[in-house]
C-alpha cells in the first residue's frame, strides 16, 4: 500500500528505483537476520549451476516486482491483490504444461472458487477499462509461476 501511495498519490515516477530500494532493503535485512541474529543457518553456494539457478530466480522475481510496482500506478491495490491470489492456479497450470506435474484433484477443485472470485472482483474493481492494465498485473504472475 505504501508503494501505491508513493506511485499514485505522491506522484513518485520511478518504479524501478522503488524496486531497487525494495530489493536492497530485503537483502540487507535478510543478511542481518541470517548472519547476526542467527535465525537460520548460513548456506553456501555449492556449484556454478546452483549459482545460475539462484541468479535466474532472483532476476525473475525482480522483474515481477518491477512490473507489479508499475501496475500500481494504474490499478487499485485491491485488484492487484486479487490477481495475486491466482498465483497458485498459474503455478499448477504451468507445472503441468512445462514439466507434466499433476497436482491432486483436490488442489484443482480448491482453485476453482479462488479463480472465480478473482474474475468477479476484477470485473467490479477494474471495470474492464483496459485489457492492457489487466495484462500488466498478470504478466508478473505468469513469469513468477513459470
| pLDDT of 33 over the 90 cut | yes
Radius of gyration of the chain (CA): 18
d(CA 11, CA 31): 32
Q: What is d(CA 127, CA 104) in angstroms, rounded to the nearest whole number?
A: 34
pLDDT of residue 143: 61
Cell of 13: 515516477
Tell me the per-residue pLDDT of 62-94, one tens digit each, with 9 for 90 and over: 888 888 878 777 777 777 777 777 788 888 888
Tell whether pTM > 0.85. Answer: no
Contact call for residues 92 and 111 (beta carbons, < 8 A): yes
Calculate what percentage of the chain has a pLDDT beyond 90: 19
Span 108-128, average pLDDT: 71
Over range 100-111, report the average pLDDT. 85
Look up residue 108 and give its three cell numbers.
Answer: 484443482
Domain spans of the chain, in order of start: 1-73, 74-146
What grid cell was written down for 139? Answer: 504478466
- Contact predicate 83/137, CB 8 Å: yes
Note the pLDDT of residue 1: 62
- Looking at the chain, how many residues does it have? 146
- pLDDT value for 16: 80
Amino acid at each position: 500500500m505504501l508503494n501505491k501511495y508513493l506511485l499514485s498519490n505522491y506522484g513518485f515516477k520511478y518504479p524501478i528505483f522503488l524496486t531497487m530500494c525494495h530489493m536492497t532493503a530485503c537483502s540487507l535485512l535478510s543478511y542481518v537476520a541470517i548472519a547476526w541474529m542467527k535465525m537460520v543457518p548460513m548456506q553456501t553456494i555449492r556449484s556454478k549451476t546452483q549459482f545460475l539457478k539462484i541468479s535466474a530466480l532472483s532476476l525473475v522475481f525482480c522483474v515481477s516486482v518491477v512490473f507489479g510496482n508499475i501496475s500500481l500506478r494504474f490499478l487499485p491495490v485491491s485488484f492487484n491483490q486479487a490477481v495475486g491470489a491466482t498465483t497458485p492456479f498459474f503455478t499448477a497450470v504451468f507445472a503441468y504444461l512445462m514439466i507434466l506435474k499433476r497436482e491432486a484433484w483436490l488442489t484443482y477443485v480448491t482453485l476453482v472458487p479462488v479463480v472465480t472470485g478473482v474474475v468477479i472482483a476484477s470485473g467490479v474493481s477494474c471495470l474492464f477499462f483496459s485489457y492492457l492494465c489487466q495484462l500488466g498485473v498478470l504478466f508478473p504472475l505468469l513469469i513468477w509461476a513459470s
